[in-house]
Structure 1
Amino acid sequence: MTELSIPTAAGVFDALVAGPPDGRPVLLLHGFPQTGLVWRRQIAALAAHGCRVVAPDQRGYSPRVRPQRPDDYRVNHLVDDVIAITGQLGWAAFDLVGHDWGGAVAWWTAHAHPGRVRTLTVVSTPHPGALAATLRTDQDQRARSRYMIDWRETPATEERMLAHDAQELRAFYAGKVPRDSAEAYVRHLSRPGALTAALNWYRAGRPDGPIGVVDVPTLYVWSTQDSAFGPAAARDTRQWVDGPYRFEILQGVSHWVPEEAPETLSGLLLEHLRTHDEFATAAHTPLDDPPKR
């Protein structure tokens, strides 16, 4: 795994990269409050099976793509970043993976650019349409999502999260994230302007328009101990996918799936890519058999 700088019109994105340059291209999108490092175990697994894997620090997390206005973090800009990054990498089509906010961006990208997204894998985050509908009808999901409203307060939120050696920020990881990764996230978000930029994702306001169904092959992974997303929206996500769909439930796993259950997630991801290998071009290295779970 090496570091990569990806220049775009919006700025230069920092990224982690691994795998053969001519391998099957896979883009991994992180969420809050993490960075591309969240995918290190999946990066290793995918690269070992011949994929070219890139995990960027997204808008606001990359210091050279850190606009100050919340409006600059609207979903359309985040999707444009994905297209700009993959265009700079020379990827006409790619497999897209996202967790948490990265999952939301992945859903929107697959909807807006189905011709570019070969397969979609989303971890934790239900389809935005399913989540919106559930917020109107399900008290449990409204309670789970209350933090999204609370975090729009500024600068009180940043001050509270970083107070007492970032005690509140550290608590998010709740022993489910490896200590070295948690410390790396805290250091990253404690730098001037970084946490405000990350919270601007919540402050950017509603999307510019509605999202419809997704018709690319989709794997959705949800865990029963996820504090942010409940079972109602997870189940309803099926109604928002017209293409081949697989729904996997991880029992007893929290929101931090990529780091709490890395081998299980890597296995599911490899199986998904192998199942839809016909969507890969002949120039890409075929996947080996994925490891047994």
Structure 2
Amino acid sequence: MFVESLVPVSVEPEVKLFVARSDGPAERTLLVIHGGPDWDHTYLRRPLDELAGTCRVVLPDLRGCGRSTSGLADDQYTPDAVVSDLVALLDSLEVDDADVLGFSYGGLIAQRLAITAPRRVRRLIVASSSVLPVSRKEEKRWDGDTRSMAVAGAATDVWRPQARAEYLQRLEGVRFSEEWLRPLRKGILPSPRVDDAPRRLAALRIPLLLLHGRQDTTFPAELVDQALRLIPAARAVVLDEAGHMAHVDQPKRWLDAVVEHLT
């Protein structure tokens, strides 16, 4: 279903991104930015794999994550460096502009990408994330071992009990790293948030979908309503009986919302 490769995106320092790509037309590329950031992309493959053929789904592991280059100096793990990597990845794939889906922390990176390089983003989906600031709760999730935290958080991240066993199986396959935790613990990791993001996103007029779970405890769903008042042209889909991992709780409805926005 996916072709996997290492794609060079930076010379100094040398960085190669591990990228999974599906079949599909290049002019309909969907770039998917995972969260964590000390996760990899694999927990997002389903249900996005169902889009193969109708669009080309591109799922990179960010620098320091999964099977991408790691072992970099702490100051090389920054949101701006990730945005530069993603622009270089689009260049390497010969993609002028792409639809972009950012999940959780990746949703913050996706906003930064759109604001930094608006001509490269055709449509934007901010999934299980927020364009508005949240309390430090979102940072507290990074305290401790990443894998242990992910497993411990499954009971709240996945709202439907019957979906948790399958989610835990997904987590077994995720290659967690601790690369981004080092600069976080040292207090030198820059925030991924862009100042005045709602106003700047509204000014770009990039079609924007806020895709959320009603029971998300990481980025509360009420932030979606607040964002819509600031970005009137944006659309929102808030799924009932879905937590932070809304694509696991409600895969069909989640994917339907993605397809509708991309059509």
Q: Relative to structure 1, is the Cα distance of residues 170 and 53 closer, same or farther in structure 2, using a 3 angstrom cutoff?
A: same
SS in 2 for 1:181: helix
What displacement does 1:4 show?
A: 2.2
In structure 1, C-alpha distance between the alignment counterparts of 2:130 and 2:255, rounded to whole Å: 19
Q: Which runs of 5+ in 2 are unaligned?
A: 156-163
What displacement does 1:99 show?
A: 0.5
Query: Residue 8 of structure 1 corresponds to which residue in structure 2?
Result: 9
SS in 2 for 1:225: coil
For the 8 Å contact 1:29–1:99, the answer to whether it is kept is: yes
Note the 1:1-293 alignment, pairs <5 A. Answer: 1-9=2-10, 10-22=14-26, 24-32=28-36, 34-48=39-53, 50-127=54-131, 130-131=132-133, 135=134, 142=135, 145-146=136-137, 148-149=139-140, 151=142, 157-158=144-145, 166=148, 168-174=149-155, 175=164, 178-185=167-174, 188-189=175-176, 194-197=177-180, 200=183, 204-206=189-191, 210-212=195-197, 213-214=200-201, 215-241=205-231, 244-274=233-263
Q: Relative to structure 1, is the Cα distance of residues 176 and 219 closer, same or farther in structure 2, using a 3 angstrom cutoff?
A: farther
Q: Which amino acid aligns with 2:106?
A: G
What displacement does 1:197 show?
A: 3.2
For the 8 Å contact 1:103–1:124, the answer to whether it is kept is: yes
For the 8 Å contact 1:95–1:120, the answer to whether it is kept is: yes
For the 8 Å contact 2:61–2:67, the answer to whether it is kept is: no
Alpha carbon RMSD of aligned pairs, Å? 2.6
What displacement does 1:75 show?
A: 1.8
For the 8 Å contact 1:73–1:201, the answer to whether it is kept is: no
What displacement does 1:72 show?
A: 2.1
What displacement does 1:208 show?
A: 9.0
Q: Relative to structure 1, is the Cα distance of residues 222 and 2 closer, same or farther in structure 2, using a 3 angstrom cutoff?
A: same
What displacement does 1:172 show?
A: 2.2
Q: Which amino acid aligns with 1:98?
A: G
What displacement does 1:34 show?
A: 3.4
SS in 2 for 1:210: coil
Return 209-218 or 89-98, whichever deviates more.
209-218
Q: Which amino acid aligns with 2:258?
A: L
For the 8 Å contact 1:25–1:53, the answer to whether it is kept is: yes
In structure 1, C-alpha distance between the alignment counterparts of 2:245 and 2:101, rounded to whole Å: 15
What displacement does 1:29 show?
A: 0.8
Q: Which has more radius of gyration?
A: 1
In structure 2, C-alpha distance between the alignment counterparts of 1:80 and 1:201, rounded to whole Å: 20
Q: Which runs of 5+ in 1 are unaligned?
A: 136-141, 275-293
Q: When the two structures are aligned, how many residues end up with a matched partner?
A: 243
Q: Relative to structure 1, is the Cα distance of residues 6 and 240 closer, same or farther in structure 2, using a 3 angstrom cutoff?
A: farther
Return 38-47 or 117-126, whichever deviates more.
38-47
Name the structure, 1 or 2, with higher relative contact order (CA <8 Å, separation 6+).
Answer: 1
What displacement does 1:258 show?
A: 2.2
For the 8 Å contact 1:93–1:117, the answer to whether it is kept is: yes
TM-score, with length taken from structure 1: 0.74
